[in-house]
Amino acid sequence: MSYQGVWTIAEAKNGMIKTVSYELLSRGRKLAGKLGCELASVLITNNISEEAAEELILRGADKVYLVNAPELENFIVENYSNVLIDLINKYKPEIILAAATTSGRTLMPHVAIRVHAGLTADCTELDIEEDTGNLLQTRPAIGGNIMATIKTPEHRPQMATVRPRSTRPAPIDESRRGQGEVITIDFNPELLDGWVERLGFRKNEEEDVNIQDAEVVVAGGRGLKKAENFALIRELAEKLGGVVGASRDAVDRNWISYPHQVGLSGKTVTPKLYIAIGISGAIQHLAGMKTSDIIVAINEDPEAPIFKVADFGIIGDLFEVVPELNEALAKLNKASAGISRTPVKNTTLAEEVEEDEI
């Protein structure tokens, strides 16, 4: 049997399918369309019903391979790897995509080395080579200074991870209801590794900073000059109902903690509004925020790369521009409070600032 088909690795937690699973379907659907093959999603978990798994069909999958067992409640790489390799050996997919989450970054290398497959991590773009049908996997290389396109023509399956939030989730298409198939795979207890046992889970308190789900992100960079000046960023973020982000430069200088970092070595964000202040726009940073709906850049250098992706740009001294923005927003908030006790929505404030002040 030859290798064929595109697979995405879905993820679930507490009986709920994670949004990143639907982001992968957006990527997988395009690849499967170019290859003219089926798109399948693999879900290894516990306590997911076939009805819940059917949402993967509605969002683009032609098939769902569902492996549901209490022993798979918690992610243990040895167990998940055994299950996935068993499926690979049986169905022989040509391409496998996973998210560059903690579990994806752990599972995919473990599987790749065991099945002797190529793996490219943290891809920003995926495509199909016209003449060969090989998967073209693009990612930053040499410290992010170049974009490298990688392919593995001699080995199958071709495997890649992509960063969460780097593309929009595939939408629900009700016309697909009944068009796909959820295949329940009986779990084989012999696939349990047995050497590793989960004893508990302790969360880093700093990770409570959630910039990935925010609708407004106000990010500061090296142009702020010192940690104390992040007070300007925090004030603006608070007035917009958003959260504070940062460039790697700012984090490396200990001006702000790592959970705020946006970019290849930090988080990928897709807010409705992203404001980059004092950030030049290195390729590593752009990869983490370029899919934002609206990007506003404030920088005194008119040649800064950030302006190439910005929808609105302000060329000027941030220490003059940002205080004026904060003052304007304070007036808007005060006026809104006088009209109604209902807080003005973040998106409305953002739109008013864009039209009236920017």
Per-residue pLDDT of 265-311, as tens digits, reads: 788 888 999 999 999 998 889 888 988 999 999 999 999 999 999 99
Q: What is the pLDDT of residue 144?
A: 60
Asked if 6-191 and 206-357 have one fold, the answer is yes
Structure tokens at 175: 């016309």
Give me the mean pLDDT over the 242-268 stretch. 91
pLDDT at 29: 95
Q: Work out the average pLDDT over 18-29.
A: 94
Q: What is the pLDDT of residue 84?
A: 96
Least confident of 8-22, 201-215, 231-245, 325-339: 201-215
Rounded distance, CA 98 to CA 160, Å? 6
Strands 294-299 and 16-17: unpaired
Q: Return the pLDDT at 345.
A: 46
Q: How confident is the model at residue 243 (pLDDT cuts 50, 70, 90)?
A: very high
Predicted local distance difference test score (pLDDT) of residue 231: 94
- Sheet with 119-123, edge to edge strand ranges: 119-123, 158-162, 95-99, 6-10, 39-45, 63-68, 181-185
pLDDT at 140: 76
pLDDT of residue 351: 41
Per-residue confidence (pLDDT) for residue 1, from 0 to 100: 61
What is the rounded average pLDDT of the residues 15-20?
90
Q: What is the band of 13 on the pLDDT scale with cuts at 50, 70, 90?
A: confident
pLDDT at 205 over 70: no
- In this predicted structure, the answer to whether residue 245 has a pLDDT above a threshold of 60 is yes
Residue 11 has pLDDT above 90, yes or no: yes
> Looking at this protein, which amino acid is placed at residue 182?
V
Q: What is the pLDDT of residue 83?
A: 95
Of 203, 192, 184, 169, the closest CA to residue 73 belongs to 192
Return the percentage of the chain with pLDDT > 70, whole number.
Answer: 90
DSSP conformation class of 197: -
Summarize pLDDT for 152-192 with one digit per residue, the tens: 999 999 999 998 888 889 999 999 988 899 999 999 999 98
Question: How many Å apart are CA 265 and CA 285, to the nearest integer?
Answer: 9
Say yes or no to pLDDT of 104 above 50.
yes
Closest CA to 169 of 13, 17, 21: 21
Cα 237 to Cα 244: distance, rounded to the nearest angstrom: 6
The residue with tokens 């040499």 is 142
pTM: 0.73
What pLDDT, on a 0 to 100 scale, did the predictor assign at position 166?
Answer: 82
As its CATH architecture, domain 6-191 has 3-Layer(aba) Sandwich (3.40)
The class level of CATH for 206-357 reads alpha beta
Does residue 238 register a pLDDT over 70? yes
pLDDT at 347 (0 to 100): 42
pLDDT band at 336; cut points 50, 70, 90: low
pLDDT-based confidence at residue 196 (cuts at 50, 70, 90): confident
Q: Where are the chain's structural domains?
A: 6-191, 206-357
- The rounded distance, in Å, linking the Cα atoms of 240 and 267 is 20
Q: Is the pLDDT of residue 105 over 70?
A: yes
pLDDT number for residue 164: 84
357 has pLDDT over 50: no
Confidence of residue 352 (pLDDT cuts 50, 70, 90): very low
DSSP one-letter code for 261:
B
Mean pLDDT computed over every residue of the chain: 87
